[in-house]
Amino acid sequence: MPIIVVDPEQPDPSVMQAAAARIVAGELVAFPTETVYGLGAAAMNPGAIAKIYATKGRPSYNPLIVHVLDVAAAQALVEDWPRLATELADRFWPGPLTIVLRKRPVVPDLVTAGLPSVALRAPAHGVARALLEAAGVPIAAPSANRFQGISPTSAAHVARSLGPDAALILDGGPTRVGIESTVVDLSGAQPVLLRLGGVPVDELEDVTGVLARPAAPREGQPRTSPGLVGRHYAPSGELVVVKTGRLSSALSGARPLGLISFAEQPPPGVDHHLSMPADPREYGRLLYAALHTLDELGCARILVEAVPQQRAWAAIRDRLARSAAS
């Protein structure tokens, strides 16, 4: 599985043309976005899309996000482009916001889990945009890891998770947002927040007003958005979120024991400790990398100090809760 290092700001055009040719030929290419690394395939090619599901071990009820270069490319895939979509795109695209709208028949049902809507995002990363431009087609790309595993924020994470199953990995360095995009559904009468992510809810609701929340889907029922499976983003060992002040009482159990906390020094009895920043954006950028590190160290149990309850930390709390779910 080739790994090619590319400049995240000015990727080599010849490299991007070669990677785009693989996409157009129906192969899988892993590439960086500003959120996490994606496992990309030509979105209009059902055979290529099937490879994504097979490679990840992803259930067919979990739809994919389709990456596009701009609003015009997005509009070509949907039945209607409401004014609110324009307002959101004007403010947050390119960037970590995914918009769900009713799809045109040209979008394969396999991409959307058979639903009448499609999730669209214009990424901000230079490599992702260069790949889209060179390929000339929309690219469906979930995170480039096995289903329910820790999302990758570096090329090394992709290689560790997928092994030889990606035809090519473009290494554009570590991602700068570090958690997945926020997803908002505009396909119905009322805007709905489907997934917390890289765009804080407060900033989103400055444009949309207060967003509705979806009902929890039944097991096996198609999800309107990726990232709604109960257990997700999880390391191999057990992950436990522990309230501040109770870490010392949680140190028993399987070993090696890892700890992610705000403290510079861990309490006695911790085998591996990673100190995290108190800023939610920086914490989000580093979270998956920290989980990957402790996973690679073989931690059978990982304790994570609970993060603050403020809205700015909502996406982090969501990821930790899903990582800890059994």
Report the binding-site residues for L-threonine. Answer: 35, 67, 121, 141, 181
Can you tell me which residue has the tokens 């591996």? 272
Peptide bond just before 256 cis, omega within 30 deg? yes
For the chain, state the CA radius of gyration.
19
Contact assessment for residue 27 and residue 45, using Cβ atoms and an 8 Å cutoff = no
Rounded Cα distance between 180 and 96, Å, is 7
Determine the Cα–Cα distance for residues 88 and 291; give it in Å rounded to an integer: 32
Given a contact cutoff of 8 angstroms between Cβ atoms, the answer to whether 39 and 139 are in contact is no
66 CB burial (10 A radius; 0-12, 13-18, 19+): buried
> Which residues line the annotated binding site for ATP?
58, 62, 143, 151, 195, 233
Tokens representing 283 are 């914490």
Which residues are part of a known binding site? 35, 58, 62, 67, 121, 141, 143, 151, 181, 195, 233
Instruction: Give the single-character DSSP code of 163.
Output: G
Strand partners, 234: 149
How far, in Å, CA of 29 to CA of 148, rounded?
Answer: 20
SS (H, E, C) 187-244: CCCCCEEEECCCCCHHHHHHHHCCCECCCCCCCCCCCCCCCCCCCCCECCCEEEEECC
Contact 195, 321 (CB under 8 A): no
137: tokens are 């087609």
Question: Token pair 């700068």 is at which residue?
Answer: 176
Beta bridge partners of 42: 139
Distance CA 134, CA 151 (A): 26
Q: What is the DSSP string of 297-316?
A: TT-SEEEEEPPP-SGGGHHH
